[in-house]
């Protein structure tokens, strides 16, 4: 080989190495930006929740596509193996006013639990009528497969209480809970029945008027996050902690500088990723666009959490290594 050939071979080797190492880097999550699915369409999973089945993640949420039939309320399901790249699976709910609530009825914040005994997928959502949200019930759907057509079963007020925003929490021991906003009283945390088809037992009432409830169990402490009641407008979300899910709960504290209004987002879920090296907790929130709902964005940010403190850092693009649990911040953003 002459010098020129050696130089070309060396350059090619560097190029290939760069390509390979780039390919190995985890995909980037960009808080607040359009989040394209495998079809290049912005993910429609607003007010959503995550279900993990082995190495697969499923993201369910309100599908507010402008192309949906006006009278229908829809829930979409996406899957992923890395929490960053999402494949559209199916519009798992496409429902027309099952409780005769009239024009403008709502189906919000769907959350799916998997019942291992019955081998059934059970979805909870907030169902209501327009104007005052007076119906204040949960809707329950079931399905035999994770991304099939969910069948509407019933609606009810959990334990007889008003229920608007709902949140989902599955503890490390597998117990499934619903968090619901009971307007006259506050946040309620309740255990689902064995078949998940009803809400069986109240575990705690947190007498704070908050919504968008989300819970995580991290290093022996429970952290609950919620937002103030300001509709689509963002507000400073807050958090509290407790040693037991039944409380007593600490006072609520800011999770970001209050003037930032949670960077424009409202909480929907906290998700814990336990890796081989570390555990990362992700804040999942919605940046609502009431006049262009389909374009509402997602604010997913890894939290600073531990010793009773929780902090939402300023949004910037990040990566997650699911194997190690580690978060990275790409240089070229």
Decide whether 165 or 182 has the Cβ nearer to ligand GAL: 165
**Phi and psi for 110 in degrees, rounded to 5?**
-65, 145
Query: Residue 271 Cβ, how far from ligand GAL at the closest point, in Å?
Result: 18
Q: Which of 18, 232, 244, 316 touches ligand GAL (CB under 6 A)? A: 232
CB of 244 to ligand GAL, least distance (A): 27
| Least distance CB 266 / ligand GAL (angstroms) | 6
Give me 302's structure tokens. 């890894």
Half-sphere exposure of 170 (CA within 13 A, CB side): 15
**Shortest CB 140 distance to ligand GAL, Å:** 18
Closest to 209 in 3D by CA, of 169, 242, 164: 164
Among 102, 207, 231, 257, binds ligand GAL (CB under 6 A): 231
Nearer to ligand GAL, 164 or 327 (CB): 164
Q: Which strands sit side by side in the sheet containing 120-128, from one edge to the other?
A: 106-115, 120-128, 137-143, 151-156
Which residue, judged by CB position, is nearest to ligand GAL in the bound state? 231
Report residue 115 CA to chain centroid gap.
19
**Contacts with ligand GAL in 193-222 (CB under 6 A)?**
211-212
**Nearest Cα to 310, choosing from 237, 243, 245, 228?**
237
| Closest CB 211 distance from ligand GAL, rounded Å | 5
H-helix segments, 106-152:
none
CB of 233 to ligand GAL, least distance (A): 8
The distance of closest approach from Cβ of residue 150 to ligand GAL in the complex, given in angstroms and rounded to an integer, is 19
β-sheet bridge partners, residue 64: none
Which residues have C-beta within 8 Å of that of residue 228, sequence separation ≥ 6? 209, 210, 211, 235, 236, 237, 238
Nearer of residues 89 and 109 to ligand GAL, judged by Cβ: 109
Within a 13 Å sphere around the CA of 97, how many CA atoms are in the beta-carbon half? 11
- For ligand GAL, the closer CB: 52 or 233: 233
Q: Which is nearer to ligand GAL, 162 or 211 (CB)?
A: 211
Number of residues that bind ligand GAL (CB under 6 A): 9
Residue closer to ligand GAL (CB basis): 44 or 266: 266
108 binds ligand GAL (CB under 6 A): yes
Query: Contacting ligand GAL (CB under 6 A), which of 109, 137, 238, 297?
Result: 109
C-alpha 328/C-alpha 75 separation (Å) is 31
Q: Is position 63 an interface residue for ligand GAL (rule: CB under 6 A)?
A: no
Q: How far is the CB of 309 from ligand GAL (least distance, A)?
A: 25
Q: Which of 244, 256, 234 is nearest to 309 (CA)?
A: 256
Nearer to ligand GAL, 109 or 297 (CB): 109
290 exposed, middle or buried (CB, 10 Å; 0-12, 13-18, 19+)?
Answer: exposed
47 binds ligand GAL (CB under 6 A): yes
Of 147, 165, 182, 321, the one binding ligand GAL (CB under 6 A) is 165
Angle at CA of residue 178, ends 172 and 179, nearest 5°: 105
The DSSP output letter for 13 is H
Contact 26, 313 (CB under 8 A): no
Rule CB under 6 A: which residues touch ligand GAL? 47, 108-109, 165, 211-212, 231-232, 266
């Amino acid at each position: 080989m002459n010098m020129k050939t050696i130089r070309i071979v060396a350059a090619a080797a560097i190029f290939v190495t760069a390509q390979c190492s780039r390919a190995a880097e985890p995909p980037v999550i960009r808080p607040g930006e359009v989040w394209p699915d495998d079809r290049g369409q912005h993910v429609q999973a607003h007010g959503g929740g995550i279900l993990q089945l082995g190495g697969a993640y499923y993201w369910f949420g309100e599908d507010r596509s402008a192309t949906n039939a006006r009278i229908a309320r829809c829930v979409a399901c996406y899957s992923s193996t890395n929490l960053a790249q999402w494949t559209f699976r199916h519009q798992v709910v496409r429902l027309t006013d099952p409780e005769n609530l009239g024009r403008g009825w709502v189906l919000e914040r769907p959350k799916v639990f998997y019942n291992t005994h019955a081998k059934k997928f059970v979805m909870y959502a907030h169902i209501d009528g327009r104007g005052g949200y007076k119906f204040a019930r949960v809707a329950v759907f079931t399905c035999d497969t994770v991304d099939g057509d969910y069948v509407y079963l019933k609606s009810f007020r959990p334990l007889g209480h008003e229920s608007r925003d709902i949140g989902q929490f599955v503890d490390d021991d597998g117990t499934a809970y619903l968090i619901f906003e009971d307007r006259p009283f506050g946040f309620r945390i309740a255990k689902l029945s064995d078949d998940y088809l009803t809400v069986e037992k109240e575990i705690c009432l947190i007498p704070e008027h908050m919504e968008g409830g989300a819970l995580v169990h991290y290093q022996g402490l429970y952290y609950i996050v919620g937002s103030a009641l300001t509709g689509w407008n963002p507000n400073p979300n807050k958090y509290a902690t407790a040693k037991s899910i039944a409380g007593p709960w600490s006072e609520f504290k800011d999770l970001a500088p209050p003037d930032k209004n949670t960077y424009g987002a409202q909480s929907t879920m906290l998700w814990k990723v336990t890796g081989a090296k570390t555990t990362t907790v992700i804040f999942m929130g919605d940046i609502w666009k009431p006049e262009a709902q389909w374009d509402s964005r997602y604010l997913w940010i890894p939290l600073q959490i531990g010793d009773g403190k929780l902090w939402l850092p300023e949004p910037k693009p990040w990566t997650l290594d699911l194997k190690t649990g580690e978060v990275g911040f790409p240089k070229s953003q």
